[in-house]
Amino acid sequence: MHNDNIKSHAEDFKRTQAIIGNEKAPTSNTPENISRDRLLRAQVGLLHLLTEVIPQISDEKQRHEMYLLVEGIHNLTRFEECDATKERQAQGAKA
């Protein structure tokens, strides 16, 4: 039974890494690019929760509460992404 749990965990981990993982390091390897890469991977995971996982929650009240929470977090990542884009554009205009 213990081996089945380990195998199941390994399969689950592999499946989730296919969603949010990244086999390549961001180019160029700056702290800003690493943070942006992590942010975008988190967005993908949150979007997966919003579109694939949460709709399957049978309890309507729990489903709605979970959706609002995850949507709010997803929106925070999008706001941060917009700010980062604005900063890069401003830096590009100065160059």
Reported as a single tens digit per residue, the pLDDT across 35-79 is: 888 888 899 999 999 999 999 999 999 999 999 999 999 999 898
The reply to whether 77 falls in a domain is yes
Q: What's the number of domains the chain is made of?
A: 1
Domain range holding 65?
A: 28-94
Query: Residue 18 — pLDDT band, cuts 50, 70, 90?
Result: confident
Q: Which residues contact 46 (CB under 8 A, 6 or more apart)?
A: 70, 73, 74, 77
Domain-located, residue 55: yes
Residue 18 lies in a domain: no
19, part of any domain: no
The answer to the question of residue 10 being in a domain is no
The pTM score is: 0.73
Mean pLDDT of the chain: 86
